[in-house]
Amino acid sequence: MPPTQTPDLIQLAPDCHVPVIWKPSNRARRLSLRIDPRRQAVSVTLPSGLSTAQAVQFLKIQKHWITKRLTALQQAPAFLPGRTIPIEGKPHTIVHHPTARSGVWIEENQICVSGAEEFISRRITDFLKKHARQILGQELRAQAQISGLCPTRLDIRDTSSRWGSCSSSGRIMLSWRLVMAPTAVRHYLIAHELAHLRHMNHAPAFWRLVDQLTPHRHHAEAWLKHHGSALLGAH
């Protein structure tokens, strides 16, 4: 079936319907699925020769994993007055100051936003992207100096499924949403991408280097497993 922009509502059990985005692929060798945080749906890559009926059977087997991840997305931080969002792992309550002229600023454990209420989400997003470039840039430079692994460039992007990546040219990409995560998680993910400057794979040598660069690997992986989806769905 051709790709569609509108998710299909697929029944996995009598009391369980989930939105599914089908992505047929001639290059894919196997069926794969991931959660799309922005659309709060399951994205399914369909290799040629595999029917959607077969894919649905696989989704039914993965029902527990799918519903757990989608439920976590519903708990994603919302950039609205009175809500609490993490910044560098610490909770901050959003407070609206409609008549102020300072844009967005942090005041103790509050993130303060001026202007009209309908612009609050966009203003906080823009603020966090700028903050991410500063904080993640500082942390990447510090780890690069210690490790001797120096990227050619840092890009801060808005990604829906990846925290970071490293290209063969040495360019590292990090998601701005990472600035909401605790320090140990940021340290691990930066170390992960720096290690790819030497090993462009996930072979044992790569993981040995990661463990040399950071003591936080296992803690961070566990944290991301439980909280990562919610941060990727923050809006």
Read off the pTM: 0.72
Provide the token pair at 97.
């100051």
Task: Evaluate whether residue 56 is within a structural domain.
Answer: yes
Give the separation between CA 167 and CA 131, rounded to whole angstroms: 24
For 59, the domain range is: 8-74
Domain annotation covers residue 3: no
- Output the pLDDT for position 3: 43
48 touches 30 (CB < 8 A): no
- Considering only CA atoms, which of 235, 225, 223 is closest in space to residue 38? 235
What's the CATH number where 186 sits?
3.30.2010.10
Give pLDDT, residue 128: 95
- Listed residues 53, 74, 95: the one ending a domain: 74
Give me the pLDDT at residue 151, please: 96
Q: Domain check: are 174 and 121 in the same one?
A: yes
Same domain, 212 and 157: yes
Number of domains in the chain: 2
| One domain for residues 213 and 118 | yes
Alpha helix ranges (H) inside 24-153: 52-61, 63-74, 120-147
pLDDT value for 162:
85
| pLDDT per residue of the chain (235 residues) written in tens, 0 to 9 | 444 458 888 889 888 889 999 988 888 888 998 887 667 788 899 998 888 899 999 999 999 888 887 877 666 677 889 889 999 999 999 999 999 888 999 998 999 999 988 899 899 999 999 999 999 999 999 999 999 999 999 999 988 678 999 999 999 999 999 999 999 999 999 999 999 999 999 999 999 999 999 999 999 999 998 888 778 776 7
pLDDT of res. 76:
66
